[in-house]
Amino acid sequence: MLAATDGPFPSSVELVLRRYAPLVDARGASSVGFEAAVAAMAPATKAAITADLKCFLAWCKSRRPVATAVPAEPETLVHYLRWLAKGSDTRTPAKPATLARRIASIARVHRMLGFGDSEPLPTQAGMVRDTLKGIRRDKRHRQRQAGPLRLGDAMAEGQGAPEGVTVKALLASCSTDIIGLRDAALISLAYDAGLRVSELVGTEVADLRQVGDGSGRLEIGHSKTDQLGEGALAWLSPETMGHISAWLLASGIGEGPVFRRINVLTSPPDPAGQQIVRHYIGAKPLTRQGVVAILRRRVLEAIDLGHVELEPGMEGDTVRALSAHSFRVGLTQDLFAAGEDGAGIALALRWSSQTTALRYARELAVGSNAAARVLGNLRRGSILPKNDCQAIDGDCASG
C-alpha cells in the first residue's frame, strides 16, 4: 500500500484504498505522484472518484473469485458493468452516463497507482468498450437535461414570450422580507451570469462591483472549466445589482459569502396572540442542496400566487424538472433565441466548447432551422384542426 506521508491528513481516495488494501496492488505506486494527482483534482472530481472507487472495491470484495481489484481484469470490469446496469430490488439500474463515469474513475485510479505506462489499461480493453456500447444501445437513454428557466420575455421580434416557470415569475413570488430579498438576488444573479451552482454559492461580496451605467461585474475566481483559477468576468444587469444591493443592505453583509442560510426563530404567542419572528443570518455560504430547496419553494409559491399557469396535476413534474442548472440552461436558450451563435454563447457562459451550448439549445433550434424557416410559411395549410388530429390518432391506435 502507499507509504505514509508527512501530510496532515490522507485524501479520501487514499482512505478508500487503505480500507480495501488486500484488493489493491500499489507496490509500484509513487506516494509523491499519487499526492500530486489528488491535489490536481477539483473537489467535485475527487468526490466522484472516491464514490466510484468505493463502489467498485466493495463489489469486488463481495465476489470471492476476485483476488485483486486493482489492477483489474477486463472480465471483472465487464461483470461489474453488467451488475450495475441490471439493478436489483434495492438498487436502480445505472444509466449509461453513470457507467461511463465509473469506468473513467477506475481508469484514473489505475494511472495514479502507476498502471498504464507500459501497457494499455484494462478499462481500454475491447470487451469493456463493447459492453458499454451494448448497454447504451439496449437502454437507448438520452441524458436528462435540466428544465430551462428563461427570463420570460420574447427575445426577438415575432417570438412569443416563453410559457411555464420563468425568472420573472420567480422574482414576482419574492416578497420584501429578508428571505425574499435574498432569494430575489440569488435568482437574478444566477440567471444573468449563467452560473453553475458551485460558482453561485462561492460568490463573495468582494467579487462584485458596479460600473457607471448601473450594471455590474462579477469576478468568477474559478469554475469547472477553469481549475487553474485564471478567472472570468460576467456582466450583471442593473436590475440584478439592485436586488443584490437590497439584500446586502438588509442583511448587513459587508464581506464573505453573499448567499447564506437564514434561520428563523419564532417566539411563543404573547397574551394578545402576537408572535415575534426573528431572522438570523449564518456565516457560511448556502449549499447546493440549499439552492435547490430555495428554487423549488419559489416555483411552488409562483404557482400558488398565479404567476405561473400549469395544467392541473403538473406541479410535481414541473418542480422535478428544474435544478440549480436550470438558470444556465435558460440563459443559453434565451441567447440562442436572440440570434447569438454558439461560439458567442460559449464565451459568455465560460464553456470550453460550443457543443454543450448547442445541445442545450437543441429544442429551440428545431423551431428555427432551415426546414422550419423554409417550410413554415409554405405548409401552413396542411395543419389540421385539433379534432381531425384526434381522429387520425384514433385510427392509428385501432389498426
Q: What is the pLDDT of residues 354-384, one digit of tens each?
A: 777 777 666 665 555 555 555 555 555 544 4
**Which segments of the chain are extended strands (E)?**
208-210, 216-220, 232-236, 260-266, 277-285
pLDDT tens-place string over residues 212-224? 899 999 999 866 5
Is the pLDDT at 126 greater than 90? The verdict is yes
Q: Which CATH superfamily is domain 12-139 in?
A: Tyrosine recombinase, N-terminal domain (1.10.150.130)
Q: How many CA atoms lie within 13 A of 363 on its CB side?
A: 11
CATH of domain 167-325: 1.10.443.10
For residue 278, how many C-alpha atoms fall within 13 Å in the half-sphere facing its CB? 5
Q: What pLDDT, in 10s, does the model give residues 86-122?
A: 987 778 889 888 999 999 999 999 999 999 888 899 9
pLDDT in tens, 241-300: 999 999 999 999 999 999 999 998 887 887 887 888 888 999 999 999 999 999 999 999
Amino acid at 308: V
DSSP state of 92: P
Residue identified by cell 469576478 is 219
- The answer on pLDDT for 165 being more than 70 is yes
**Is the pLDDT assigned to residue 352 strictly greater than 50?**
yes
- At residue 146 the predicted structure's pLDDT band, cuts being 50, 70 and 90, is confident
Question: Parallel, antiparallel, or unpaired: how do β-strands 232-236 and 260-266 relate?
Answer: unpaired
* Residues whose CB falls within 8 Å of the CB of residue 209, separated by 6 or more in sequence, listed in order: 216, 217, 219
Mean pLDDT along residues 30-49? 88
Q: Minimal CA–CA distance to 67: which of 51, 75, 29?
A: 75
Distance CA 101, CA 96 (A): 9
Q: How high is the pLDDT of residue 192?
A: 96
Q: What percent of the chain has pLDDT over 90?
A: 50
